[in-house]
Amino acid sequence: METQIGNLTNSFTNDAAKFLIHVGDIQSGQTSMCRESFYKQAYDIFLQQSPLPTMMLAGDNDWNACPKAKDGWRKYASYFIGLEKSWAAHKTLGVKRWNDVRPENFVFSISGVLIVSVNLVGTPILDRNEWDQRNADNVFWVKKGVADYLKNDQGELRAVMVLGHAMMRPTIVSFFQGIREIFMTNDGGYKEGFQIPVIYLHGDGHKFAITNTAGVNGHKSKARQKFVKDLDWDQFTDIQVDKGQLAPPIKIEVAGVKDPLLEVHNIDQYVLGDGLIRIDRRGGHYQTKMKKKLPKKKKKK
């Protein structure tokens, strides 16, 4: 990760890049045992190497898959909630967090595209009541983000991008059904002004794939295809990113309100929303898997 983040300085020199988001799993909870040194190592890499305001979501390997989940959450929260404030440029993004309820969730917008993060992780389910409440909170947070954007008259809402960690699975389907209600009616039609692209960007599956009702680009998963099909939502797209050791961070571009729509220039690029959003894999898989640099263990005295 250190090399990848460091390379962003050169990669984005001529770009108007505004932020960096990590979608979780900075470690394998069972291998690292969620030692604090792993959290601190990632924190230091972001601060020292990233040229952009950086935000990091919690993955199951950073929290609920840890040997001591509560301790894992404490470490994640202490290092990464509010991380973006370490860069002066964060002020221009206008990042807002749900400080009084779920400070790990944030929201901001770029050129009419609302970007909302939610706390969605993979298994295990440690507490069913907590799990269900968190899913409900996440739905509310997306609804609030959309409502606040429209209330504050920030211009046309052109698309919504939801950021989470978990791939689509039965334990979180209720979240997607819940946010679908923001945009669609019970009879399957679109509410006025809401026939817009909605993207769910996540990690967890570790193999790149773009899945919607039109088909799949990249890694095919029958389960994911079924979830997307059952949603019956032709404006919805699921994007799963590669594991960090396998490929560089993807770049997401948004066409400005007065700019031409974006086009595809190579096989690693994909456009959504008729050119409103472009996904760039920046070369795709590395020829050789990157080695993970592990923090040194402290010697026992």
- How does pLDDT run across 72-97, given as a tens digit for each residue? 999 999 999 999 999 999 999 999 99
Q: Residue for token digits 């959290």?
A: 39
| Contact status, residue 282 vs residue 297, Cβ threshold 8 Å | no
Q: Is 262 a domain residue?
A: yes
Q: Name which of 85, 67, 68, 83 is nearest 24 in CA terms.
A: 83
Which residue segment(s) compose the domain that 215 sits in? 2-280
Helices of type H across 68-114: 69-80, 90-93
| pLDDT bracket for residue 234 (50, 70, 90) | very high
Output the pLDDT for position 28.
85
Output the pLDDT for position 12.
61
Pick the residue with more confidence: 208 or 11?
208
Question: In the structure encoding, which two tokens stand for residue 231, read together?
Answer: 């949603």
Query: How many domains does the chain contain in total?
Result: 1
Q: Is 248 a domain residue?
A: yes
Torsion of CA 67, 71, 73, 78, to 10 degrees: -140
* CATH code assigned at 157: 3.60.21
The enclosing H or E element of 54 equals strand 54-56
Q: Is 128 a domain residue?
A: yes
- Distance CA(76)–CA(119), nearest Å, equals 12
| pLDDT bracket for residue 292 (50, 70, 90) | low
| pLDDT bracket for residue 101 (50, 70, 90) | very high
Q: What percent of the chain has pLDDT over 90?
A: 83
Mean pLDDT of the chain: 93
Sequence-distant (≥ 6) Cβ neighbours of residue 106 within 8 angstroms: 55, 84, 95, 96, 97, 98, 116, 117
Output the pLDDT for position 53.
95
- How does pLDDT run across 144-164, given as a tens digit for each residue? 999 999 999 889 999 999 999
Q: Is 219 a domain residue?
A: yes
Output the pLDDT for position 297.
62
In angstroms, the Cα distances linking 18 to 26, 86, 197, 245, 297 are 22, 14, 21, 23, 35
- Inform me whether the pLDDT recorded for 300 exceeds 70: no
Pick the residue with more confidence: 130 or 299?
130
Q: Is 296 a domain residue?
A: no
- Inform me whether the pLDDT recorded for 263 exceeds 80: yes
Residue range 15-19: average pLDDT?
Answer: 83
Q: Is 298 a domain residue?
A: no
Sequence-distant (≥ 6) Cβ neighbours of residue 98 within 8 angstroms: 105, 106, 141
Rg value, the chain, Cα: 19
Output the pLDDT for position 16.
75
Residue range 224-249: average pLDDT?
Answer: 94
Output the pLDDT for position 3.
78
